[in-house]
Structure 1
Amino acid sequence: MEKYSEFGAEARKIMLQRGITLKDIAEKLNVSAPYVSDILRGNRKGEKQKPIIAEMLGLESES
């Protein structure tokens, strides 16, 4: 499994539990799935997207 940031690991856990894919999140954010993956792995800051991802999944955002 790829290495995720703390935020990304929590997000992926919830995504797996709820059957939510990177593509599902990407479509709602109007970005690509690899872009979402980069945010979850900590390779991109995703300052605008991270709070939206957190809200979608019921997480507290790091931002």
Structure 2
Amino acid sequence: MRVPEQAHGALIGRVQRDAATRSDHAQFERRRGELTFTVTTGFPGRVTEPDLWLASRIEALLAELT
């Protein structure tokens, strides 16, 4: 999904705030105009309910921007 580069900072901030509300973590990487999010958990090898919620939230935020 393409998101304008000028929207990256606001998107990152919203994802980080949403992650904090669920005690979850989302890492991001910017490279050559691309922005990649990785949802991480405190339980290696497991996908938790907050992880799934955050991934869904990221998708919803992206949909708002496109």
Q: Give the TM-score normalised by the residue count of structure 1.
A: 0.41
Q: Which one has the bigger helix percentage? A: 1
Q: Which one has the bigger strand percentage? A: 2
Q: Give the TM-score normalised by the residue count of structure 2.
A: 0.40
